[in-house]
Every structure is written in structure tokens, then in C-alpha cells.
Structure 1
Amino acid sequence: MDSIILRGWSAQSRTTFVSSFINPPKILFTTNCPRVKEFFRFEARAGGSESKRREPRVTFTSLNSTDGATWTLRATAGPIDASITDRDVPATVPGEVQLDLLAAGLIDDPFDGANEKVQAWIGYCDWRYRTSFSWSPNDAERHDLVADGLDTAATITLNGTEVGRTQNQHRGYRFDIAGLLVDGENELVVDFRSPIEFAREQEALLGARPTVMHHPFNAIRKVASNFGWDWGIDVSSSGILKSIGIESWSGVRIASVRPLTEIGGAENDSSTGILNAHVDLEWASTNSSAATVAVTVNGATETVEVKNGQTDAAVRVDAGSIDLWWPRGYGDQPLYDVTVTVGDAEWSSRIGFRTVTLDTAPDAHGSPFSIFVNGQLIGIRGANWIPDDAFVTRITRERYRARITDAVDANMNLLRVWGGGMYESDDFYDACDELGVLVWQDFLFACAAYAEEDPLRSEVEAEARQNIARLSTHPSLALWNGCNENIWGYLEWGWRAQLGDKTWGEGYYMDLLPSLVAELVPGTPYSPGSPFSFTKYAHPNDPRNGTMHIWDVWNDRDYTAYADYAPRFASEFGFQGPPAWSTLTASVHDEPLEPYGEQMLVHQKADKGNLKLERGLGEHLPKPRSIDEWHWATQLNQARALRFGIEHFRSLWPLNTGSIIWQLNDDWPVISWAAVDYAGHRKPLWHALKHAYADRLLTIQPRDGVPVLVAHNDSAERWTATVSVSRQSFDGTELAAQTVEIDVEPRGIALIPFDEQVLAVTDAGREFVRASVDSAPSTDRAGNIDSAFWYFAEDPQLGLEPTATALDVTVEPVEGGVAITVRANSLVKDIVLQADRLHPQASVDRGLVTLAAGESAAFTVSGLPESFSFDGASIAGFPVLCSVNDLVTG
């Protein structure tokens, strides 16, 4: 079949046009958009969308700006800034108010400087979106206005008549407008109530309930962090976030499909697949004839007949021999096309065949939290995920892919979509399906008590039903979780006294949500909350049971206190550090730049955050003497804290079955717990995670006060290797040696004691222990993945040499970047090259490299523009090339 080019359409426009369509995540349809002269069939695929010539089945008149619609925006009530009073502003749909005002030059970048406070008035205003479009009658029986995402309390008017009202950002809406359309020009108006004022109104209606933030986000169904968080800017935005348009159709429509899978035969790499397709239907009229539902997967097709008015059908298809879908590190990720047709309607998606189970049965130590895929226990190495931009319409398919690739490259196998964010675009879950990243999906309840009465309850159920069904296609989705910290908060944060006999969300977490999961996606694991102990009389944050959040370390204690815990599963813990230098200084312009500058503190949302950063340095690092040292030391300390905690938890395997750090990403330029900053720079923490989350981990851990060597093998192959252990002085002199033969079974662990002479330190300030796998290249260890270090004193007490004498540096240009080779004359700890200090778009291939005397390592910087001025001297020194030696010796 010949291909067809949609001229004037970007690939992103086509992909967004399809993938955000309201009910099925992958729907096939035709369009009579003014930008397209013929009817086409669009099909969303992993790499974008494709088009084929077809007769029209369903026509969709897109009202998106990318498809030719012209929108305006106007503030209609509230503390309107004088610059836009009585003014129509060009608007982009999908889009958000602040982005339109920014594009029109009416406000400055909301992320810059202290603009958050200057622009706070925007969230207190009502806003009106308006467009006109031409429409001509056709033979379709139904004409529906389909709005995928309205943020949040909206009144929709067509040609002066109210169509409907919405009050939930997390669901799509559909309205029959056949009686309101006119031949010729039509006017559509969407009026948004101020999100802050709407939340206050709903709070007054439902009754005030405890929350951690200054706005009552818990009274409405909107991204909680949009009102600000301890890492997030308060933008309190309004907008048409997803596709909007008119769908014209006849006969029967596929409202949604839940393609649930079973596996027959042995749970191995090749099994028999069963697809149970649950198809929800809607009929245009009672005059429609009966229809046939046909489901095809892996070359097999089954059909059932449905009568007019029948709203659901179940079709069971034997898919024959299939390959199982596995998380990364455990197998491949085969995906199978599924097509469903009913009359003229057609739906298509991809699925994977796998089973997921959760074991929380009591054992000798309490209650575990063990995730099994296809019968195999999975060691979870993950991170929490927040919306990747405070203005969510800027999150593209490419940005999703880049962030999830960051997770994969750091050896992660799970992302937890946190409950203060949103149900992400299918682009997010598609990437996780393809890359083998499991998804733990929170329902959207976080750090607050929630009313269980209408109108909130009805919205909760509607959004849950819609999103459970939408996400049921994705094999990566392994777990639904009821809430974030709310059960813990009710018990321990003083909520009970404030609530009295008011509802607080327990009915959602213990009744409504688990019943919906069981109804719509039976067999999918469910957890009432995180943390949660799965034991009736246990504290929800008990380390002996279920999942645990560890926040006393960041808030009050030294990071070595992670070793005081032996959690069965650590689902949240973290430590802060600033973003990359270029990210920070692009938004913070204090003169002089210092940790407590006015703009710096705008970009530090945690309570006493920068004080905690300084306290957290403890005895580990010297007090910084400059802003450059502060930036480097606090970044390094963040990396060390999380590496310490993760390696400790992994050394407890299989008592501990997983770690999910807080957090992978940022939604704006900010000092935070993220491993990758808003601009996409991988912080030193990211390099620490790559080491700590390696399939094969070598670490030195104390047991009863004595260091031992721990080898954790989270791979499918037995790990046999020779490990050379030595105690040596900083100048490279070997003082004691030991050879260890390790033999660790797949998914196993081994603890090996050291010989006494290895630990018999004579000069704590100038000696260290190193354990290295002999197969590792001695001249260029890959980020020390195959090495473990033990020091007998903290850095300020170590006799480290100044970098100028301890490190020889060679810099030379290479195609597309710069190569830096470093050779150590004495011990140099935690070498990091801050590539973004050379250029904001530059990146480096490795970090946190420790070199003993005589060893060398190479760093490659890429992403430099052709016009980059090469200066070897500036690259070779601090603060571009950093190490602990710089902090200790100056």
C-alpha cells in the first residue's frame, strides 16, 4: 500500500493526535480535519504514527492548534494583571495559560529567578478559551465533543448553550452535541474556574482536611504538585491539556478495551498465551443492527456476536505459542499487536504476556514485599517518578524516552509513578514496555486526607475506572498502589485529632480502589498505600513488614543511619543535592551567588533545605569555602548518601527485595532529590546509582562492627571470579593482600570475611582497602563497577594530595567533543567532570571514578558546539574537573 505524507503536520502532532485520543490508548480513526483533504486511517505505533488510505469509519474534527484551529485566551475574573485586562491572547491547544502568556511576551519565564511569586496571581484568575470552526452536516448518527484533559473546573459552551461541566483533570469527557452544531461557523468556549478558588470552594463544601501544602489540593482532582511541593514550583495552572475535537460516528463505538492476558503451560521463555479481551461498547441509536466483535492476536482470531444496545463483550483468544515479557535484566520484552473490530469501529494496541504476583505472606522476619514476574522473584532497583515538567503539555514522547533511558542506563528496572502527580501519557508506558521497566502506579492521592463523599467520590471512581482500563494494555504496569503516605499520616501526623469523625480516604484505599482493580484487571497486584505493612496490627512504616519510607535520615540524621534499618522493601528514601551548575545558574541570578540568596531559596522548596544540606555534610566532607565548593560538595554528598543506603539494603538480600529512591527527575530547575535535573543533566547521584544498582555488586559492609566483602549477583548467570583484596597506602604501596574466589549463584549473595592483616590498619589517615575483580581493566576501571573501597577515616582526616600533584591530566579534542585522560600519582577520590560548565548542552560518559596511585581513566565529553573554544588548562582544573582532593586540600 502506498504511503501518504501529511504535509504541514509534524511527527509529534500526528503522534499526539492519535495517542491522546480519549478512550482506547491506540484508536484507529479517520479525520476530516481542515488540514487534511482526504480521509485517513491513523495507527499509533512505538516509533510514531503511520497512515493508510481507507474509507471513513469514524471522522474526527480536530480542534487542536496543531491541526489548524485558532484559539484565544482571556482572563475573565480575579486579580487580573493590568497588562492583560480585557485582552484576547493567542492560545495554543493543547496548552496552558502561563505558556500562552509567555509566548505572547506578557510574562517572563515562570521558572526564572523569583517569578513564581510575581506570577502567583495567575492561579487566582478565571480563564476563557475560545475558538470558532466550520462544520457541515454529514451522515453520522452521533456527534460527540471529546475532551481528553481539561484542567480542571471547566464550563463548556457551544454556540451559546452550555454543553457540560467538568471538574477532574485526570479523566476525559465526552458530550453529545448533535443538537447544538450548526451548518457553517460554530463557536466553542471553555471557561475555567481559578484552580485555587475552586479548591477552596470544594474544601468549604466537603469540609477542611489535613494536607501538607498551603493550597487545599486534596479537595479537587488535579495534579497535587501543580500547587507546589517540597521540590516543585507553585504554578496553579489552567488549560486544555490534551486533544479536543468532534467525533462523528454511527452504529457502534468501541469505548474501551481491556486486553487481559493469561499464560498456559510452564512459566518459561516460551509458553501458550491466552488473551481475554473485554470490550466496552456504545451504540449511536436503537436502530443500529447487531454486530460482530472480532479480536486478533499473533495470527489467531476469535469472534462473538453482540446485539444492539449490548454494552460489553468478552472474547477469549488462544494466541498459541508466545514468548514471555520480562523486566530488563531477566529476559526480553516481546510485544504483540492486538486488533479489535466491531462493525466499522476498530481498535489496536500492543500487549505482552506475563504474570505479576506480590508476596506479602508472613514469614520468620515479618511480612515481605516481593514482586514476582512469571514466577521469578525480581530484585527491584528503582526510582520514584514525578511529572517531568510543571507544565505538563511540554512533556513530549522524546522527553519521556530520554528520562526512562536515564533510568535504564543507571541499571534500574522499576519506576514508581507517585501519587501527587498524574497518570502519564501512553508514551511513558510505551517506553517502559519496550525497555523492560516495570511500573508501580499510584492512584492519585498523596500526603493528605481526602473526603469520601460526593462530588469527590464520583470523580475518583470515574477517573480510576478510565485509567485502569486505559493502562491495562501495558505489560510494564506491575502494581497499583492506593496512596502515598496517607495511611501513615492518619496514624502518626496528628490527623486524627483534626479529622474527628470525617472521612479521610480509608474507604478508597481499602475498598473502592482494590475492588475496581479486581473487577477491571483481575490478577494485578494492589497495595493500599506506601508505606504499608500488610499486617493488621503493625505500624504502616514498620521496617519488618511490607514497604517502608525512610525520611528521618534526610531530615535529622547522618546518612550512615541508613545502616540502622533492615527494611523488607524501601519504597522511598532520598537525599538532596543541587542541579548541574548550568541548570542552577540559568535560573538563579543572585549577586553574589550563595546558598541563602533570595532567588536560590525560591529554587529550594524543602523546609530548611540548605541547612540540611550543610548538616548532611557532617564529618564526611570539609565545610565549603566557596559557592563552587558548596555546589560540588553537596552534589557529592547526595551521591554518597544514596549509594551508602542502596548498597546496605542490597547487602541484606533476600531479606530486602528492593529499593526505590526518591527521585529520578525534576519538573523545573531546583535543588532537590533528583538524580537527573530538569535540563537532563545526570548529577553525580546518577553515577552513584549506576554503580549501586549494577547487576553484579561488590561492596564492603560492616557486620558486627567488622567489614566484610559482599558479592550480590542479580543476574541469570553464576558469578565466579577472582577478587584481589589489598590494603595499601595512598602512594600505591601494598601493605597487605588477600585473594578471594567468589562463586555466587544466580540471584544470590555471598559474604566473605577479610584476613586479619587486611584490616590491621597502621595509619588510618593514609591507608585504604580495595577489593577488585581481576577481570576489570587495571588501567581504566569502568566507573569502579568492579571495585569496592573501605576507608578507616573520613575525608577531612585523610592525607590526600592536592589535585595538582596527585593527578596528571591530558586534554585533546576528538570528533564531537573532548577526551580527558587522568593518571593518579596518589589516591584521588570520586573524580567527576562537570561537563555542563564547558557548555550547557555538554555531557560526559562517566563519573565518580576513584583512582589509586598508578591508575588512569579516560573521560569523553560530547555535545559541545563546533564553535567551542578549546582550553585544556580550564578543563583540567577545578571546578570543571572535581574530586574529593579539591575539597580536602583546596
Structure 2
Amino acid sequence: MTLDREELRDGWTVTLAGGTGAPDGVAGRAIPASVPGQVHTDLEREGLLPDPTFHLNEQAAGWVGRADWAYRRTVDVDPRGHERVDLVCDGLDTVAELSLDGVVVGTTRNMHRRYRFDARVQSGASGPGSKDLEILFESPYREAGRVAAKAGSMPGPYDEPFPYVRKMAANFGWDWGLTAVTSGPWRPVAIERWSTARLREVRPLVDVEAGEGVLDTHITVERSGPSRFGENTADLDQDGEDDDLVLVVTVSGTTEDGGATRQRSRAQLTPKDDETVVTVRVPDARRWWPRGYGDQAQYDVVVELQTVDGEVLDRDTFRTGFRSTRIDTQADRVGRPFGIHVNGTLIDVRGVNWIPDDVIVSRVDRSRLESRLRAAASLGTNLVRVWGGGVYESRDFYEVCDELGLLVWQDFPFACSAYPEVEPIRSEVIAEARDNVARLARHPSLVVWNGNNENIWLHDADGWGSSLGDRGWGLDYYLDLLPTIVDAVDPSRFYTVASPWSGDESLPANDVDHETHHSWDPWNRLPDTAYRESVPRFVSEFGWQAPPAWRTLREGVADDVLRVDSPGVLHHQKAADGMAKLARGIEPRFGTVDPASFDRWHYLTQLQQARAVATGVEHWRTHWPRNTGVVMWQLNDLWPVSSWSAIDSAGRLKPLAHELRRLYDDVLLTIRPVSDVAADVTAAGARTGGPDRPDHAADGSETAELGTLADTLSFGVSPGAFGASPVEIAVRSSRSGQDSVVRVRRVTTAGAILAEVSLPVRSERAGVVVVALPESVGVVDDPTNELIVADMDWHRAVWTPGPDHSMRWAPAQYRTTFTPFDGGLDLIVEADSLVRDLLVQPDRVSPTGAVDRGFMTLLPGERVVFRITGVAETDVPALRSEPVLWSLDRVLAR
């Protein structure tokens, strides 16, 4: 009989089972519960808890995480003709005891694992049938306290005990997050009935050999022999019955020439065998490519476990793609690179860091994941790093990345702290790592496993050793345990010890010349121009803060009037000294801002975020191949907060997101100062193009995708150098060659042309082309009244030599017209003078208002179309008014 799975989604209640601080009406009440779910959502729905993400409510919800909670429902454990009945839990958050009719069948202490328990309980009830299932969740704080008492104090930046429990660290607050410590069955709970045997584990590993796709499917089966009642049967060896079993793996898809293929392979398991490898070879397999490098070809895979008579006992179906991967960290004349190669091609990585999309992570469904990831892809992203303070994401997340061609860098969940190596934590880390490395092996998008986020770097930089003494703090996990598990379970993926990591314990972990680097001195203590002082080999974190969209913040706080220093706005800023850092970032370019001038502050923080990120990305990407990747912190948010995100928690795109679309384009046009750093990189070969093999474009797929960009003009917000030093043009092209012309103009702040030149931009292959500029356009005479504008094809870069607050901006002169379309309005702006950093914020007019562009700079006679959705023709007067439609000169004039 085929395995039967029955998900237990309905009929649940949750009850307070211990703890203090609960408001009236909670104790003794059986609250209807959603499963999958977490208790915060159930309490909110019943009006027993205010939304912790709103205003100051976080403070009133802290009691929830310190309470115990009992989830209950009746379950049918009748085997219905099967030999085995299992209670299967795909995710329990976090410390739980499970019982059926009062008989304990299992315990858990790890949010990040899957569990399976024998449900064949013999209790006071006679025979099989309905039984009362209870999952009793203990407060994570209590478990953390027990481990902390055994392990001792673990140093870290936050006064919360997340290192002592295997749970999503971001539940305990972060410098962009609130504290909302959750409990509950956060992933599905099911009853599974089966006989003879089931598929215990399916690990498909792919490669490409001489054009042939190779799928090695590592399969382990569990037989239905007697189990030891009450233990996690996923961790037990079973005594097998005397039956031969047959495994059949089928791969179906299309061949390189568009035809169909169906390849099948079989293996037989004797009663003494519970595991094997089934290999399927697919001739002329279409390759899976990262976004922008080719198609995301995938093949359907069916794994069936059968009896020798052909009866199907269990089945696993999924899609995968054939590709080869390699990470190059071999030493060169500079240090150690970190080059991600897919199918033999060095990838120009344009990435974003991903955090959980909600502090109540069970609320994040496939639709929401797909919305965020599609938005990331539309911005030019080709890699998503799943950060180590969150979770191993759902199957939906990785499937969407597979479909979109988004490479995945996956952190193990260790972030920004020392972690104890004592039991029971060590055993949990082993089980968790093995479970998830095996679970994610089927996804072609996954290319990197990372041991931890910043733990080794902070250990040295913050002097943790003096307080730790000889106690383990996680280093054994990162250097030995985790790489051993990855090598054993999925040797097809690369493992890196940490982010950042320099490849050798003898080197500082965050050395710019070796492997991966986090660039946080800019933002924390230096101006963003400091990004230009070095060229890290691969930047896996950097970023700049800004508040969320105006509407998102307005809906997230209860302040009568929004001010920079109003209570709700301040509470929704979690970074240490965050508001002062925002002010220090604004001041060099734009001057000081009165806290009462919220609209002005909001505009300038958005502009500064875009300018700062542009400073780093333009510099690093135009020093290819010394730098092979940039991963911006961060893509998304989990509540309405001032943070480094490009997309806020409501899904609204900040102006930074639109700027990323320019920065992450396959062709990036920049104006940059002529510098010693650039000359140094010349010796490394970046100025004339690196070894970026163009063979990925042989089928024309890349060219076809790039062609879709031709209908829009891309305007940059290139930062200024705050001086009249000479500049040059640098073009980073991921295309296989560049043959174009760049038009460079030196203009006044009113838009009058002072000098103009057109210069060729040519290269044989993808890489970087540096174009020297004649003094007439490469050096300004008056840094308070001149700027430089460069245009190439549909790309624009703007260079402001002086700080904006010292520029003598002429009043922007432009005309606006509106044309309705189904779903919104096109706003056409026609410039009669220079218009610097024009921004449209339709969310200020309508909650559904959105726009397809960020800051735009126009020269006299130019026009641009802002496509605005979610608004009506009656909104036209408001859309024309300030601060909905605002330019930099008007903001600075206030």
C-alpha cells in the first residue's frame, strides 16, 4: 500500500500552560489555533494580544515568549490497513513534549529540524482509533537558562539568550528587529500511514560531464519492523523484514534541441540493504544557469519505492537542474579570490541578503516569498544569501529561486555571538545540519553553505577570548563539524567557514584581500566615500540605513504627527545610535535636518541610502575581477522599521530598490575619481576586462534578456567626491563584448552645457572598460555650480563634485501631464532646466500607490515617464503637490 499522508490542519486549540504576565481572559481559555502557526497569531486573532509590530506594542507582548503553551486536537491513529502509523512534524518551535492520550511519544528542542514519532500508542483506550494529541511548548527562555547554566555566559552584542537554544535568533530582536519570542507548530504536522518500507531520505546530487547530465540519487529507506516506542524514529535503525525492494528513479524533460527525454534507472535492495545510489544519465542535458546567463532548465524527477511485484510503497517528486559549480579560492598575486563558477563561467555576483520576512515566520507563505524574490530578480539580483540569524527556508523559497535563476548562499543558523559546544546543543547541531543539507540537496540554485555570520570576526575584533577562557564557542562547529557533514551528505556544494572569512586562521577574518568581506566601517563610523578606499575580493555584507516608505511607517506607528524624534518613530529604529548615524550620513552631503522636518528628513535619508549604496557598488563592480561579487545588506524587512532594506515590510520598494536596478544591470556606467586604487587594479587586469568567459551567451539567451531593457532610460545617482579632482568613465559589462559611445557633458546647476565630448567604449569580451576624459569634461571649474553627466545607450551616470548643500542649485523647472491607463496613471515630466533627484511618492496619496522609478535627474529638454499604479485620476492634484513630487533643490531650500 502506498504511503498515506494526512495533514493535521484543523481542529486545534492552544491554551496557556504556565508563565506570568498574561492579560485577563487568557488563562484557562482554549483558543482556536492555526497549524502551521505560532501562538502570537492566534492571540492576535482573538483580540488577546495587540500586534507587536505596531507602535510600542512590542513591550506589551513580551510575556508571550516567557509562557508555556499547549496545542491540542484529536487525531485518528487507526492504521487503516497499514503496518505503521507515524506522527510527523516538519517544524516545531521549539522546546516541546508530544503525547497521545497522556503517553509521551517524543520531545524536541530544535526549531530547525524535522521529527517523526511512532503513533502506535497503547494506552487506557482499547485498540487503535482517536486519541488526544497534545504538544506542550515550554518557554524558550527556560531551556536557554538551563543550557546557559551549564555552558556559562556566551559573549555577543545582544542581551538575549538566542545562542543557548536552536531557534531563529531574530525572534530575540536585532538591530533591525523587534523581540517577539514565538512558540508553536510552525510547519505542518501530519499522520503518515505506511507498510513494508518508506523513503526515509532522498538526496539527489547533480553534475555535468561532457555535456551529459548526471543525477546521483542517494536513497535511504526505513522498513516497517518494530520501533522503540517514544523515540524519534528518524534517528533509529530499524530491523528490516525479509523483503526485496526496488527503487526506480525517472528523469523527464526536454533535450538541448527541444526534444523530449525520459531516462530511468533501477536498483534492487536486499533485506540487508537500506541505502543505495541510483544514477541516471541524461544525454544532451540542458543546463541550469543563474539569472542573466542562460535559461533555468529543470527536469522532473520521480523516485519510487516498489515491491518486487511492482506495488508502489512510497513516492517523491521534485524538479532539479543540471549544472556544475565551483568556488575559486586559490591564492593569486593579491590574496585569495572568492569566485563563484557555474558551468565553467565566473559569475558576476549581484546579490542581496535575506532575513526572515516576518518575525512570526509561519505567516510567510509561498505567495509572499514569490513576491519578494520576483522583486529581487527584477532589480537585477542573481544571488540571495539566507542569513544565519533566521531559518532554513521552506521548500517554496528554494523552488522559486530555482525557477528564477537566483543562486542561493545558505548560512547555517549561527549569527553574531559565541555559541556553546556543550550537550544537548552539539547533538542538536549535528542532527539539524544533516537534516537540512540533505533536504536542500535537490535545489540547483543552492551553491554555497556558510558556517556562520560574523562569529569568528567578532570573536577577534571584540576580544571574546578573555571572557571565554578555554570554553568552546562554536569554532569547532565551523572548522570541523559542519564541513564534515557537508562533505559527507552533499559534497557537490562548497562550504565556507564564515562570512566574513579570509581562508586561514592566521589571517584577520575580514581581510579585504582574502575571500569574503563585510564592509561596515562606512555607516558605523565613516562616510560612504570610504568604500572607495579598498577593493575587497567579495563583499558579502554592506549597506546603509533609511526608514521604510512613508505609508508603511505611518501605518506602523500611532504618533499623531510624524517627527524624527516622535515615540513611535524612535521605537522603530533598533540600531545602536541609529538616528545619529542617519544624521551623520546626511550631514556631509545635505547638511543638518531639523527633527520637526520629517518630510525633508525622510526624503534625504532615502536619497542618502541610494547614494551610499551606489558609492560601494559602482566602485567594486568596476574593479572586476579583483572583486567578483557584491551582496547588499539587505533585501527585505520583518516589521516597519528603519533599516538597510530595499523593500520594506509592507512590500513597498524604497528608492534604493530602483537604484539597485541600475547598479545591478548587466551594463553599469559610472563616473569615478581617478585613483591609486584603480591603478593598482590595473596590474591585476581589471581595467581591460577579466577572464569572464562569454560562452554562456552562445545561444543568445543573455542577449535576448538584455534586450528587454531597451525601452527605459536608466538614470543614476552617482555620488560626489566633494572636490574638483579629475574623474574617468568606467563601464562594467557582463555581456560578451561592448561597442558603444559614451556622451559626456559638463553642465551648470541650471543645465547649461559648458563642454561636451563623445568617446568610444569598446571591449572584446565582458569585463571593465575605463575611458579617460579630456580635462574639458573631466575636471570642473566651479564645484559649487557644475556637475558631470554621462550617457551611454540607455544608461546615465551623474557626478556632483561638491556636497549638495553647497551647490548653487537653480530652481527646477518642469511640466507635468498625466495619462490614465487601466490600473493607474502615467506621470510625464518634461524638464525646462536641470531637475536633480526628482522623486514621486504615490503611497503618500493612496495606500496602494506605487511607482516604477526612484530618484531621476533630467537635463533641459528631456522627459521621463513615471508609471504610477494604485491611484485614480482624482489623485492628480495631490500627486503634483509637495512632498509627493519633490526635487532636491526644493528640499534643500526649506
Instruction: Normalising by structure 2, report the TM-score.
Output: 0.89
Deviation at 1:381, TM superposition (A): 0.4
Deviation at 1:762, TM superposition (A): 3.0
Does the Cα contact within 8 Å between 2:288 and 2:444 map onto a contact in 1?
yes
Matched, 1:281 2:221: yes
Counterpart of 2:799?
790
AA paired with 2:59? K
Secondary structure in 1 matching 2:282? strand
Aligned residue number for residue 530 of structure 2: 561
Say whether residues 1:458 and 2:447 are aligned partners.
no
1:689 corresponds in structure 2 to 660
Aligned to 1:323: 286
Q: Distance in 2 between matches of 1:636 and 1:75?
A: 49
Equivalence for 2:450 = 481
Of 739, 742, 754, 2:761 maps to: 742
State the 1:229 CA deviation. Answer: 0.6
Give the stretch that moved more between structures: 660-669 or 755-764: 755-764
Q: How far apart are residue 757 of structure 1 and its match?
A: 1.3
**8 Å CA contact retained: 1:812, 1:872:** no
Q: For 2:814, give the aligned amino acid.
A: L
1:815 equivalent to 2:822? Answer: yes
Equivalent residue, structure 2, for 1:621: 590
The residue type equivalent to 1:848 in the other structure is F
1:303 matched to 2:243? The reply is: no
What is the letter of the counterpart of residue 854 of structure 2? G
Deviation sequence 1:714-748 (CA, Å, 0-9, x none): 12x32111111111223333211211111123321
Q: Which amino acid aligns with 2:36?
A: P
Contact 1:713 1:744 in 2 (8 A): no
Deviations 1:781-827 (A, max 9, x none): xxxxx111122211112222334xx2222234332112211122221
Give the Cα–Cα distance (whole angstroms) in 1 for the partners of residues 73 and 16 of structure 2.
12
CA deviations over 1:447-495 (Å, ceiling 9, x no partner) = 0111222211111011111100110000000100000001111111121
**In the TM superposition, what is the alpha-carbon distance from 1:633 to its structure 2 partner?**
0.8
Say yes or no: does 1:391 pair with 2:360.
yes
1:155 Cα shift?
Answer: 0.6
**What residue in structure 2 maps to residue 880 of structure 1?**
884
RMSD (Å), alpha carbons: 1.5
Of 656, 662, 667, which residue of structure 1 is paired with 2:627? 656
Q: Secondary structure at the match of 1:199?
A: helix
Q: How far does residue 869 in structure 1 lie from its aligned partner after superposition? A: 6.3
The residue that corresponds to 1:96 in the other structure is 38
Read off the aligned partner of 1:797 and give its amino acid letter.
Answer: S
Contact 1:624/1:887 (8 A) holds in 2: no
- How far off its partner does 1:208 sit? 1.9
Cα distance in 2 for partners of 1:185, 1:523 equals 45
- 8 Å Cα contact 1:273-1:318 kept in structure 2: yes
The aligned amino acid for 1:62 is: E
Relative to structure 1, the CA distance from residue 658 to residue 596 in structure 2 (aligned partners, 3 Å threshold; closer, same or farther) is same
Q: Is the contact between residue 621 and residue 887 of structure 1 (CA under 8 Å) also seen in structure 2? A: no
Which residue of 158, 162, 169 maps to 2:104?
162
SS in 1 for 2:478: helix
Amino acid in structure 1 at the alignment position of 2:190: G
> Who is 2:60 aligned against?
118
**CA-to-partner distance for each residue in 1:137-182, whole Å, 9 max, x for gaps?**
4221111110111100001111011111100000011011213475
In 1, the alpha carbon distance for the partners of 2:806 and 2:566 equals 31
Q: Contact 1:711/1:744 (CA < 8 Å) preserved in 2? A: no
- What pairs up with 1:244-393 in 2 under 5 angstroms? 244-265=189-210, 271-285=211-225, 286-298=240-252, 299-343=262-306, 344-393=313-362
Aligned to 1:752: 771
Deviation sequence 1:683-723 (CA, Å, 0-9, x none): 011111111111001101112353110011112x3211111
Give 1:765 shift. Answer: 2.1
The amino acid of 1:277's aligned partner reads T
CA contact (8 A) 2:199 2:314 kept: yes
Alpha-carbon deviation of 1:183? 3.6
Distance, in Å, in 2 between the alignment partners of 1:537 and 1:60 is: 52
Report what 1:708 is aligned to.
728
Is 1:83 aligned to residue 25 of structure 2? yes
2: CA distance, partners of 1:398 / 1:849:
31
Supply the distance in 2 between the matched residues of 1:366 and 1:580 (Cα, whole angstroms).
Answer: 41
CA contact (8 A) 2:33 2:42 kept: yes
Residue identity in the other structure for 1:821 = I
**Pairing 1:505-544 to 2, within 5 Å after superposition:** 505-544=474-513
Q: Is the contact between residue 14 and residue 39 of structure 2 (CA under 8 Å) also seen in structure 1?
A: no
> 1:374 & 1:234 partners in 2: Cα distance?
43
- In structure 1, the residue corresponding to 2:173 is in which secondary structure? coil
Indicate the SS of the match to 2:551: helix
Q: Are the aligned partners of 1:535 and 1:545 in contact in 2 as well (CA < 8 Å)? A: no
Shift of 1:99: 0.5
Distance 1:82 1:442 in 2: 41
Of stretches 628-637 and 133-142 in structure 1, the one that deviates more from structure 2 is: 133-142
Q: 1:152 aligns with which of 87, 90, 94?
A: 94
1:111-146 superposed Cα distances (whole Å, 9 cap, x missing partner)? 111000011111111111111234434221111110
Q: Deviations over 1:476-533 (max 9, x none)?
A: 0010000000111111112101100000111111111111111111131110000000
1:870 and 2:874 are equivalent in the alignment: yes
Query: Equivalent residue for 1:419?
Result: 388
Do 1:574 and 1:663's aligned partners in 2 also have CA atoms closer than 8 Å? Answer: yes
Identical amino acids, percent of aligned pairs:
42
Deviation at 1:544, TM superposition (A): 0.8
Matched residue, 2:697: none
CA contact (8 A) 1:251 1:288 kept: no
- Aligned residue in 2 for 1:781: none
* 2:255 match: none
585 and 408 in structure 1: CA distance in 2 versus 1, 3 angstrom threshold: same
1:28 maps to: none
1:609-645, Cα deviation, whole Å (9 max, x unpaired) = 1111011112211333411111111111111100111
CA deviations on 1:35-91 (whole Å, 9 max, x unpaired) are xxxxxxxxxxxxxxxxxxxxx5112232112xxx33333343333333312222111
**Quick check: 680-689 or 299-308, which moved more?**
299-308
| Matched AA of 1:468 | V
* Equivalent residue, structure 2, for 1:13: none
Alignment of structure 1 residues 200-239 onto 2, 5 Å: 200-239=145-184
Counterpart secondary structure, 2:285: strand
8 Å CA contact retained: 1:730, 1:853: no
Matched to 2:809, the amino acid is L
Contact 1:77 / 1:125 at 8 angstroms: preserved in 2? Answer: yes
Alignment-mate amino acid for residue 125 of structure 1: A
The amino acid that maps onto 1:273 is G
Deviations 1:823-865 (A, max 9, x none): 222211122211211212221111221101221111111123x
Structure 2, unaligned runs of 5 or more:
226-239, 253-261, 307-312, 676-724
Stretch of structure 1 that moved more, 282-291 or 688-697: 282-291
Residue 764 (structure 1) shift: 2.3
Is 1:828 the equivalent of 2:835?
Answer: yes
- Shift, 1:768, TM fit: 1.5
Are positions 1:240 and 2:185 aligned together? yes
Match of 2:548 in 1: 579
Cα deviations by residue, 1:191-240 (Å, 9 ceiling, x for unpaired):
11111222122211222211222211001100000111110110001111
CA distance in 1, matches of 2:885, 2:850: 13
Say if 2:418 and 2:473, in contact at 8 Å, map to a contact too.
yes
**Structure 1 match to 2:438:** 469
Task: Determine the structure 1 residue equivalent to 2:738.
Answer: 719
Q: Tell me if structure 2 keeps the 8 A contact 1:730–1:852.
A: no
| Alignment partner, residue 719 of structure 2 | none
- Structure 1 position 58 matched with structure 2 position 3: yes
Amino acid at match of 2:345: Q
Which stretch shifts more, 192-201 or 388-397?
A: 192-201
- Structure 1: gaps of 5 or more residues: 1-55, 266-270, 777-785
The code of the aligned residue for 2:654 comes to K
Q: Residue type of the partner of 2:541?
A: E
